Amino acid sequence: MKKKKNRKIIKLVSTSGSKHFYTTTKSKKLNLKKLNLKKFDPKIKKHIKYIEENIK
């Protein structure tokens, strides 16, 4: 029997409008709020806020 996955794949999208994104996973049970992380955007060469979106 295959184990059920407890992690969800999400996409972190840049708020700068450069259309750059990161993909990562997060726990389905523990993290109910949307992630807001400050990460590096290589297209504009600055640290920018990234907001969580679902992968379609």
Q: Look at residue 1 and tell me if it is in a domain.
A: no
12, part of any domain = yes
Surface-to-core class of residue 15, CB atoms within 10 Å of its CB (0-12 exposed, 13-18 middle, 19+ buried): exposed
Residue 14 CB: number of other CB atoms within 10 A?
21
Q: What range does the domain containing 24 cover?
A: 7-54
At 13 the pLDDT is: 97
Closest CA to 21 of 29, 4, 30, 55: 55
Per-residue pLDDT reduced to its tens digit, 3-44: 778 888 999 999 999 999 999 999 888 878 899 999 999 999
What's the number of domains the chain is made of? 1
Is-above-0.85 flag for pTM? Answer: no
CATH number for the domain harbouring residue 44? 2.20.28.120
Strand partners, 18: none
Residue 23 lies in a domain: yes
Residue 41 lies in a domain: yes
